[in-house]
Amino acid sequence: MWLLLGLLGSMTALSASDLFTAQGFGAGNADDTDDDPQDEDDDSGAPNGFSGIATGFPDDDPGEVADGGQGATPPSSDVGAADPPSDDPAMGLFDGLGLRVHSSDVFPDPEPDTFQTLAGDENDNTLRGAALDDVIAGNGGHDSLAGHGGNDWLDGGAGDDSLIGGDGDDTLLGGAGNDTLIGGLGHDLMIAGSGDNTVMAGDGDDTLLGQAGSSFLNGGNGSDLLQAGAGNQLHGGAGDDIFLLPGAMPGADGPAHILDYAADEDQIQLSYDPAQGLPELSITFAADTPGLAEIRIDGNVMATVANAGTLSPSDIALVAQTGPTS
């Protein structure tokens, strides 16, 4: 499945009816907490290779518990799927900015007996996975989601949420609200939604995608890619990092701010629409702040770079967008 990640609207529109719910989860109850240990005796006979887990959708009764059953299917074409472009069927675009993301990085490819799902509701939910490849959706409310072990997929949905991936190569989507995303170990994909977010990747070669707002993105250890949203603060951390500036910035939120650029390790890239021609790139230095460079496109400040040294336009790589742009 090829996924077009626009402004994440399709990604965060999941509801409890879009996902499985694990056995013992009381759908619809206020402030739900669900621990899903591995040693539960789940024998649902779930279809499509999802054996060894309890599946099923709750009734309209708010006190109904999903107790497993037949016929549940994973989210597919109704969750933001699109036909792939003919030149590259395995990849998708994030926001038309030229950063390509595998659909398999966003929706995990489950193996039998290793996959489970949990879904919250409009209340404040606490949902914890186990050592499996978990799919956990908080939906509405101020939720706390933890994947623990495995390659997990966590979507906070609306509200001010806390997402912790733990071990494994995890995908974390903040959704709307002021969220905290913590990747932990592994090579994680972390997508901040609208709002003022804190995104901490931890160890591993991670990908952090920001949107407009006063968000802080920290790559931690490893060779990370940090895509800026307007107004974001970017800290790559240790390793050879890439700071990607989308050509559509900055807007009302102002420029992005690169806090720890190291010329001998890191790269700054600027994506642009080749249909519009090469942008006019220039570098100026702030008169009142020593070492602070301003990256300008057509005279407008796109980003500032702290401790920039002798940063010049030749140090910035121009990257043409490819594929669809809308």
**Which two three-digit tokens encode residue 216?**
């802080």
Give the pLDDT score at 109: 53
Q: Does residue 200 carry a pLDDT above 90?
A: yes
Whether 325 is covered by a domain: the verdict is no
Q: Pick the closest to residue 57 from 99, 25, 12 (CA basis).
A: 25
Measured between alpha carbons, how far is 85 from 62 in angstroms, rounded to an integer? 43
Helix (H, G, I), strand (E, B) or coil at 104: helix
Measured between alpha carbons, how far is 247 from 267 in angstroms, rounded to an integer? 16
**Which two three-digit tokens encode residue 288?**
């009142």
How confident is the model over 62-92, as pLDDT tens digits?
A: 322 222 222 222 233 222 222 322 333 222 3
Whether 52 is covered by a domain: the verdict is yes
Residue 251 binned pLDDT confidence (cut-offs 50, 70, 90): confident
List, as one string, the DSSP characters of 256-309.
EEE----TTT-EEEEEE-GGG----EEEEE-TTSTT-EEEEETTEEEEEETT-T
Whether 313 is covered by a domain: the verdict is yes
Residue position matching structure tokens 């206020």: 30
Whether 278 is covered by a domain: the verdict is yes
Domain containing 235: what range?
2-320
pTM: predicted TM-score of the whole model, two decimal places: 0.69
Residue 132 binned pLDDT confidence (cut-offs 50, 70, 90): confident
Contacts 24+ apart (CB under 8 A), 230-234: 230/254, 230/255, 230/256, 231/255, 231/256, 232/256, 232/257, 233/257, 233/259, 234/210, 234/258, 234/259
Whether 62 is covered by a domain: the verdict is yes
Whether 326 is covered by a domain: the verdict is no
71 or 261, higher pLDDT: 261
Asked if omega into 250 is within 30° of 0 (cis), the reply is yes
75 or 163, higher pLDDT: 163
Question: Is residue 103 classed exposed, middle or buried when 0-12, 13-18 and 19+ CB atoms within 10 A define those classes?
Answer: buried
Whether 266 is covered by a domain: the verdict is yes
Whether 22 is covered by a domain: the verdict is yes
Q: How many domains does the chain have?
A: 1
